[in-house]
């Protein structure tokens, strides 16, 4: 299911104030990818934001430096995981390195098109291997940064 430009403008208006730098990172680091890759990255970003907004309301905004540092770590971690997957190891092993392994597993499932609630395969994203790992790296960065921002949020 494709989101209309109007729906995305509404989501960006809601997401931007919550995590302006992180939203810019996701949009900037996926702009060169296919429409499917961009959409799944944005959908997962919004889902992560909504989870943190609801369950960790004190989550502070991410900084550009924080995102850059985490992206470097995520690039290395996901490249290592991709190499292991290429060698025949299960993809699930990469979730253990995430601060939120269940959330990372759900994001990975969305990227590869495994949606337990939606058996309509026509809506599944079609990503080549490079796009898949690019999106997974971006989402790993989002999840790790959000978790760090939630951990360092001021007490209510």
pLDDT tens digits for 100-113?
999 999 999 989 88
- Look up residue 10 and give its two tokens: 């509404």
Give the count of beta carbons closer than 10 Å to the beta carbon of residue 60.
Answer: 15
Structure tokens at 115: 């949606």
Residue 34 lies in a domain: yes
Task: Quickly tell me which residue has 């092993």 as its tokens.
Answer: 93
Give yes or no for a contact between 144 and 98, defined as CB atoms under 8 angstroms apart: yes
- Is residue 154 situated within a structural domain? no
In a domain, 67, yes or no: yes
Mean pLDDT of the chain: 85
Residue 90 domain-assigned (yes or no): yes
| Residues 6+ away with beta carbon under 8 Å from 20 | 61
Which structural domain range is residue 14 located in? Answer: 5-146
Q: Domains in the chain: how many in total? A: 1
How far does CA 5 lie from the centroid of its chain?
Answer: 20
How far is residue 17's CA from residue 12's CA, in Å, rounded to a whole number?
A: 9
Task: Decide if 122 is inside a domain.
Answer: yes
Hunting for tokens 């597993």 — which residue is that? 105
Q: How much is the pTM?
A: 0.85
User: Is residue 152 situated within a structural domain?
Assistant: no
Q: Please write the tens of the pLDDT for every residue from 31-88.
A: 999 999 999 999 899 899 989 988 888 899 999 999 999 999 999 999 998 998 889 9
Whether residue 22 is contained in a domain is answered as yes
On whether residue 151 sits in a domain, the answer given is no
CA angle 21, 63, 46 (to 5 degrees): 40
């Amino acid at each position: 299911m494709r989101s209309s430009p109007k729906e995305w403008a509404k989501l960006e208006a809601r997401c931007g104030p919550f995590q302006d730098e992180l939203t810019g990172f996701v949009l900037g680091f996926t702009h060169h990818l296919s429409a499917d890759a961009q959409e799944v990255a944005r959908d997962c970003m919004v889902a992560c934001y909504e989870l943190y907004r609801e369950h960790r309301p004190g989550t502070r905004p991410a900084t550009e430096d924080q995102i850059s540092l985490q992206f470097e770590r995520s690039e290395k971690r996901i490249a290592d995981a991709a190499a292991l997957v290429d060698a025949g190891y299960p993809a699930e092993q990469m979730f253990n390195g995430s601060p939120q392994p269940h959330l990372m597993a759900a994001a990975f499932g969305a990227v590869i098109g495994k949606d337990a609630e939606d058996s309509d395969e026509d809506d599944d994203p079609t990503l080549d291997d490079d796009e898949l790992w690019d999106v997974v790296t971006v989402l790993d960065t989002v999840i790790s940064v959000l978790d760090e921002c939630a951990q360092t949020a001021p007490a209510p």
